């Protein structure tokens, strides 16, 4: 079945000509246009009226239209969230606030392909050359740098008629300018029932556990447990700081801390989702299977403290990140029931219990002891997908010979100052062929 998907390719700019200050000034103007767009939208102006009102002679008109479009998308997202909040009988959390119009920091410069920026492939150096137009008749040129996979994808997009290059955003961080290019292509995603490998994914507060089972023999092909407990620690730290600041009347810091928390969480989830997809790509014809978490927040009511901890778990966002990355790799995704996956023995089906992070079966004849309870849940998720696809639950259990697996952390330790790549994370959990 044909389907279109978009991917954001993140690259660094190596500027060879042009004034870097033009880029900074254009990003400041982008912030002014964003603020004006939100203010005019609050007053009920139409898109055409807004574009006429925010028009500036020192800013490229096509870039202005792109920034206005991004600002209106932000406003539409706020309105959708507000409408959802108003529909709730007992809304949880505070009322959504409209996008800020008081920020004076730089805003990403949004540009249309072939208008605000252009890309070409140099046949001699095999580099992707860029030309940005931050201001009328002002150009910044150079070449892009990035991960080999991202650069190969961008080269194919520039030179192929089947892949479309869309808008790009210019960002700045730690002294480096980045260009985020949107690439769109159409591809075919196979149905889950064509899969040869079932990759069960279990996510909780601290870990993401993966187990790949052969669909025919239900033997374990690979297993991996990723620790992302740093997200929980950062969330608790930000909550404590915000609580203490509100106690002393410093309420404005809540939004600033919330933005930092969300940015950090998304950064970790992007790395996790890449590791999941790259782990699945190591096997033949995989399908990535999640637990169906719809309505899970309504069912988890344990008091104020536990509700704050559990309700903020990024289940849906993580599944969304994995799904769109999997679509780009033409890997299907699916969901199965979430009931008792963590408490069910993956061998005999009896209810068991945790011993710390380990799992132990209460069935005397089975007496399974898994090295990690979350990995036991991922095995159950893969088995439920087997039953769902083959409509056969006569042997709804796997083998006791589940191999031991080492926990992989997202952050390095000791003298390692740079976290491992998602590819190396994914490969650490793969079993050697026996």
């300018």: which residue's tokens?
A: 177
The predicted structure's pLDDT at residue 120: 93
Most confident of 202-216, 304-318, 409-423: 202-216
Write out the E strands in 136-285.
138-145, 163-173, 176-188, 197-203, 207-214, 220-227
Element (H, E) at 119: strand 117-121
Interval 177-193: pLDDT, tens: 999 999 888 778 888 88
Same domain, 154 and 213: no
Residue in 139, 119, 136, 117 with CA at minimum distance from that of residue 127 = 119
Element (H, E) at 13: strand 2-17
Same domain, 246 and 213: yes
Same domain, 141 and 214: no
What residues make up the domain containing 154?
A: 2-188
Give the Cα separation of 388 and 378 in Å (integer).
15
pLDDT above 70 (res 401)? no
Same domain, 157 and 248: no
- DSSP per-residue letters across 376-406: HHHHHHHHHHHHHHH---TT----S-PPP--
Which of 167, 188, 209 terminates a domain? The answer is 188
Same domain, 228 and 376: yes
Same domain, 198 and 184: no
How many domains are contained in the chain? 2
Same domain, 233 and 347: yes
In a domain, 103, yes or no: yes
Which of 158, 173, 188 terminates a domain? The answer is 188
Same domain, 171 and 202: no
pLDDT above 70 (res 304)? no
* Residues written for the chain: 434
In a domain, 434, yes or no: no
In a domain, 100, yes or no: yes
In a domain, 433, yes or no: no
In this predicted structure, which of 181-190, 224-233, 313-322, 413-422 has the lowest mean pLDDT? Answer: 413-422
pLDDT above 90 (res 34)? yes
Same domain, 315 and 408: yes
Give the Cα separation of 345 and 360 in Å (integer).
8
Same domain, 276 and 300: yes
CATH number, domain containing residue 249: 3.30.420.10
The predicted structure's pLDDT at residue 392: 65
Give the Cα separation of 52 and 70 in Å (integer).
16
> In this structure, are residues 341 and 381 in contact, taking their beta carbons and an 8 Å threshold?
yes
What is the value of pTM for the model shown? Answer: 0.69
Give the Cα separation of 361 and 367 in Å (integer).
5
């Amino acid at each position: 079945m044909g389907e279109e998907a978009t991917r954001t390719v993140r690259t660094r700019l190596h500027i060879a000509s042009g004034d870097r200050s033009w880029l900074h000034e254009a990003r400041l103007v982008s912030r002014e246009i964003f603020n004006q767009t939100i203010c005019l939208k609050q007053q009920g102006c139409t898109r055409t009226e807004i574009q006429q009102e925010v028009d500036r002679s020192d800013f490229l008109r096509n870039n202005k239209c792109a920034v206005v479009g991004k600002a209106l998308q932000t406003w539409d997202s706020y309105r959708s969230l507000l409408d959802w909040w108003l529909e709730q009988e007992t809304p949880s959390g505070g009322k959504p606030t409209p996008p800020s119009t008081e920020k004076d920091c730089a805003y990403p410069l949004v540009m249309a392909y072939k208008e605000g920026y252009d890309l070409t492939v140099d046949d001699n150096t095999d580099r992707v050359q860029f030309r940005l137009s931050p201001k009328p008749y002002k150009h910044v040129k150079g070449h892009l740098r990035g991960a080999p996979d991202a650069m190969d994808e961008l080269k194919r997009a520039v030179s192929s008629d089947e892949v479309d290059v869309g808008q790009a955003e210019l960002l700045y961080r730690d002294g480096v300018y980045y260009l985020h290019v949107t690439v769109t292509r159409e591809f075919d995603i196979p149905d889950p029932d064509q899969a040869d490998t079932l990759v069960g994914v279990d996510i909780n507060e601290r870990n993401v556990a993966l187990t790949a089972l052969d669909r025919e023999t239900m033997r374990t092909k690979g297993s991996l447990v990723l620790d992302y407990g740093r997200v929980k620690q950062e969330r608790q730290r930000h909550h404590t700081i915000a609580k203490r600041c509100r106690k002393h009347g410093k309420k404005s810091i809540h939004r600033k801390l919330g933005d930092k928390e969300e940015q950090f969480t998304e950064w970790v989830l992007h790395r996790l989702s890449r590791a999941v997809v790259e782990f699945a790509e190591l096997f033949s014809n995989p399908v990535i299977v999640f637990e169906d978490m719809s309505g899970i927040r309504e069912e988890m009511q344990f008091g104020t403290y536990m509700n704050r901890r559990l309700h903020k778990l990024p289940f849906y966002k993580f599944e969304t990140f994995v799904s769109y990355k999997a679509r780009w790799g033409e890997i299907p995704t699916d969901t199965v029931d979430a009931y008792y996956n963590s408490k069910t023995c993956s061998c005999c089906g009896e209810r068991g219990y945790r011993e710390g992070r380990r799992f132990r079966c209460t069935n005397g004849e089975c007496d399974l002891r898994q090295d990690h309870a979350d990995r036991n849940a991922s095995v159950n998720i893969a088995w439920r997908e087997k039953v769902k696809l083959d409509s056969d639950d006569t042997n709804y259990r796997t083998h006791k010979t589940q191999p031991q697996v080492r926990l992989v952390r997202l952050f390095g330790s000791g003298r390692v100052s740079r976290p491992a790549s998602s590819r190396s994370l994914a490969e650490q959990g793969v079993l050697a062929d026996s």
